Chain A
Amino acid sequence: MDFNLTEEHRMVQKMVRDFTHKEVIPTIGEWDRKQEMAPHILPRMGELGILGINIPVRYGGQGFDYITLGLVCEELEYADSTLRVVMSVHMGLNSMGLLQWGTEDQKQRFLVPQAKGEKYGAFGLTEPGAGSDVANLTSTAVKDGRDYILNGEKMWISLATKAHNVLVVARTDFSLEKKSNGLTAFMVETDRDGVTVGDIHGKLGVRAGSTGWVAMQDVRIPEENRIGEEGEGFKIAMSCLDNGRYTVGAGATGLIRACLDASVKYANEREAFGRPIGNFQLIKQKIGIMKRDYDMARMLILRAGWMKNQGLRNTMETSMAKWFATDASFKAASEAIQVHGAYGFSDEYPVERFLRNSKGAVIYEGSSEVHTLLQADYALGYRKDRPLRCELPAYDPDFWQDEV
């Protein structure tokens, strides 16, 4: 067993850290207050190659492994959750779905521009009436010659107003007993007739990001945009979540570290009763727990990333990492505010933003309740992962790095 990161890993970490410290952290508080995404964020992430970090060079990416993706997400969310959310939907839920399930033609048409950062991807699963209960979603796709006609509304969609390509899951078969077998995945370009998008305002967190809705009215989508077979939509969505959850967990790990760093700094500076508050055992306890949780979250994420590199099925391990890391980040943020006393309650310090941002991640990509049930079902033997028609390819450095 080797716990070392490679030199490449460390250099990427440093590069992304330099980027966030120079171009994100100094102004993120203002954008959060304005409830707007800073206009330079997505283009810069594209230009720098972050939006294609773990996609093979032959598909326009940078050719790094899945562990690198996790490390990048950790660094991004250390600065602000909205940057990691970009990676969750654009990379984890959309681009990696294309890498896993897309035809060569779809990879050329969608994955290449996304990996190059020329186009942004999003993921449209949730609807106003169906979140955790994916199998009951009601958007429809009806075959019309060689096309499909899509109708329905997707809600709570990250990057709704920024994305060019949304991976949408809709119902194609209404007769089936088992509802999850009637779903199909499509790549919907947001500039098609009948697609309208908008942002939701008044969110608790991820305020410097875009979260919105994507409505489809008689949107004509050619067959070539169908991802996978008819009826494979549920499986595709779940396998995309294996990758999205990985980015969420990795990001939450970075958020715990941000809480820890802010708390340590404050506990060394702030004095009460004649001593720095770091001297008090009850403050030490909070900091000790943050440090423990950071390490645990990181180990769980690295294990999931390693399994992805090896090409091993990691649904269970990724769920575990996402569940633990996001719950722990919510606790860490709350405790970080506590350490800061009244100052933590104001936006003069970043910890209140950390708390607001951390709450989303225990809801999306499988709420903590859903992950609790998943883990119990694995333990009880009620759940087993069956092989998929298309598995996420193991990381093969030669294939990833060859410039074809």
Chain B
Amino acid sequence: MAQVEIRNVSKSFGDVKVVDNVNIFIKEGEFLVLLGPSGCGKTTLLRMIAGLEDITSGEIWIGGKVVNNTSPKERNIAMVFQSYALYPHMSVFENIQFPLKNQRMNKEKIREKVEWAAGMFGIEKLLNRKPRQLSGGERQRVAIARAMVRSPNVFLLDEPLSNLDAKLRASAREELQQFQEKVGITTIYVTHDQIEAMGLGDHIAVMSKGKVHQIGTPKEVYNNPADTFVASFMGSPPMNLIEKDDSILGFRPENFVPIDMLNADEGIETLEFFVTWFEDLGSDSLVYGNVKFQSSSSQKHVVSRLQSRANIKIEKGKTYTFAIKRQDLRFFDVKTGYKKNAH
């Protein structure tokens, strides 16, 4: 158990800067989700924390000590690789016991721990199999169990649930979170799935192209994105961003609704919405279309998310008056993309 500090950390491969001046502070026992699109440097950052990759510049602190030159072994970190990295010549049991054996734990205790970990992830029947006899999802669970049997300073999880089906993923997510809460070990969880990120972490760090754009609670990141990247990355569909005068206007699809659903006293902004496409997703429906501003002649494509039970009749090819509460509007700088303070 330890706090982790990443101070001005950068990593370059040759001329390419893959991680660019990252600063993250992770409290003891915190669950941090590292979120970002593919190739943004998440794995590289994780590998630097684990000690598998040299740090080009900056410092990483674990438990109050600089670990820049400490071997992975001494950092006492458990990691689940994106590729699972199971030992192919060992059975599932041997795989899970491997880190414990390296700690010279006694045999009985090892057996107990392995069975406990296997039980937790539903792989107790597979203990005698070899990794090649397992499905992708089973392998992934073995890899997680192998990390969880230890009591490390930090857990590093690199997209550990990517290969599970939706149902299993949800239950594994729950298991993982409850487990983490119980043992209280600092955890860094990498994912490119923003829905997973919203559901899991105490804090989310959103990365793009090697830079951290925002760190905050899921709510903060979702409701108050720090810039247009975060705004367009979080949420599905993401925040509508339309240029208006010298700012970019942002609003969530679920806040963009027919005018009669809102109370005009609250302060609203109205827009004429020409509907081009309509999608019924069951509980919600997505309405795609264009809006036009009085000030400019160009049309902007936006999406609205309506709850199906609101029972609103919308047809393609017609224009409706939609509105957004002022408090749900966000403004970003046109040039930098950074959030501006509300008007």
| Bound together | no
Which residues of A are interface residues toward B (Cβ below 8 A)?
A: none
